[in-house]
């Protein structure tokens, strides 16, 4: 599991890294002394399965703000908030969209840390197990459902869009939807969108976090907004 630790106190980084190095689940550990360092690393292509994010920072932003930024680019990255003042931030951690795995008090309880690492690993395995099998040009492809941004139907073909690839298969959109997770919603008769990748919804289109744009029909506008708000509430 690829793990990042983000805290502006060197002693806190040292202690948490020491705890993680004693656990076989965290086989790659990177540390960052500022949210900016972490932001730059992600912008350069680094990806993490789990981030331990300290909440209190010397600056206008706190760890909750940084975690929300991470979620924009990496919706599958899980976050564990860390703080020495849990009562001060307990409600705030639910106010912004993050893939929340848990909450750690300082000083860190090794038993709680162990349980959170196991929870994060189980979530990763569950996500990796969800795959969509399609046939393209006589070849069977296995596509991770979590990587699919949207599906587009044209005639008798459906194009499956991920960040890196496109797959074309001869199948009905409605049939494929039966195999997808609850994060998908039909915003248009010809489009299914993965709500994990939605940045915002406008009157005639859905804007994606990668800058892409797909149409939304007038008839499905209200239902799409409702579905997104409900989904975001369930995943916080």
- Same domain for 10 and 29, yes or no, is yes
Peptide bond into 107 cis (omega under 30): yes
**If pLDDT is split at 50, 70 and 90, which confidence band does 72 have?**
confident
Instruction: Express each pLDDT in 19-67 by its tens digit.
Output: 999 988 898 999 999 989 999 998 888 889 999 999 998 878 889 999 9
* pLDDT for 235: 53
Instruction: Express each pLDDT in 181-201 by its tens digit.
Output: 888 999 999 999 999 999 999
Encoded tokens for 133:
């099998």
- Same domain for 58 and 14, yes or no, is yes
Mean predicted confidence (pLDDT) in 68-93: 83
- Same domain for 105 and 165, yes or no, is no
Domain boundary among 73, 97, 129: 129
* pLDDT for 233: 67
**If pLDDT is split at 50, 70 and 90, which confidence band does 234 have?**
low
* pLDDT for 223: 94
Domain boundary among 78, 106, 129: 129
CATH number of the domain within which 25 lies: 3.40.50.2300
Burial 115-149 (b: 16+ CB within 10 A, else e): ebbeebbebbeebeeeebebeeeeeeeebebbbbb
- Same domain for 99 and 137, yes or no, is no
- Same domain for 82 and 154, yes or no, is no
Domain boundary among 104, 129, 154: 129
**What is the separation, in whole angstroms, between the first and last Cα of the chain?**
22
- Same domain for 18 and 118, yes or no, is yes
Q: For the chain, give the mean pLDDT.
A: 89
Domain with 117, as residue range(s), is 2-129
- Same domain for 155 and 72, yes or no, is no
Encoded tokens for 221:
């506008």
- Same domain for 135 and 105, yes or no, is no
CATH number of the domain within which 174 lies: 2.40.50.1020
Tell me which H or E stretch contains 228. helix 218-235
* pLDDT for 236: 47
If one counts the domains in the chain, the total is 2
- Same domain for 123 and 140, yes or no, is no
- Same domain for 218 and 114, yes or no, is no
């Amino acid at each position: 599991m690829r793990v990042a630790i983000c805290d502006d106190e060197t002693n806190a980084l040292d202690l948490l890294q020491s705890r993680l190095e004693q656990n076989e689940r965290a086989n790659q550990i990177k540390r960052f002394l500022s949210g900016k360092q972490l932001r730059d690393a992600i912008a350069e292509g680094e990806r993490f399965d789990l981030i331990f994010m300290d909440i209190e920072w010397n600056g206008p932003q706190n760890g909750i703000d940084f975690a929300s930024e991470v979620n924009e680019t990496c919706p599958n990255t899980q976050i564990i908030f860390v703080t020495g003042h849990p009562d001060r931030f307990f409600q705030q951690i639910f106010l912004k969209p993050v893939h929340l795995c848990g909450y750690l008090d300082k000083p860190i309880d090794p038993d709680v840390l162990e349980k959170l690492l196991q929870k994060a690993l189980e979530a990763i395995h569950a996500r990796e197990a969800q795959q969509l099998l399609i046939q393209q040009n006589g070849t069977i492809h296995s596509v991770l459902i979590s990587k699919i941004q949207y599906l587009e139907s044209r005639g008798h073909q459906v194009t499956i869009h991920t960040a890196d690839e496109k797959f074309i298969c001869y199948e009905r959109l409605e049939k494929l939807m039966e195999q997808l997770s609850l994060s998908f919603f039909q915003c248009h008769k010809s489009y299914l969108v993965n709500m994990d990748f939605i940045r915002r919804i406008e009157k005639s289109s859905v804007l994606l976090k990668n800058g892409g744009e797909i149409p939304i029909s007038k008839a499905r506008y209200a239902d799409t907004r409702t579905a997104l708000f409900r989904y975001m509430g369930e995943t916080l």
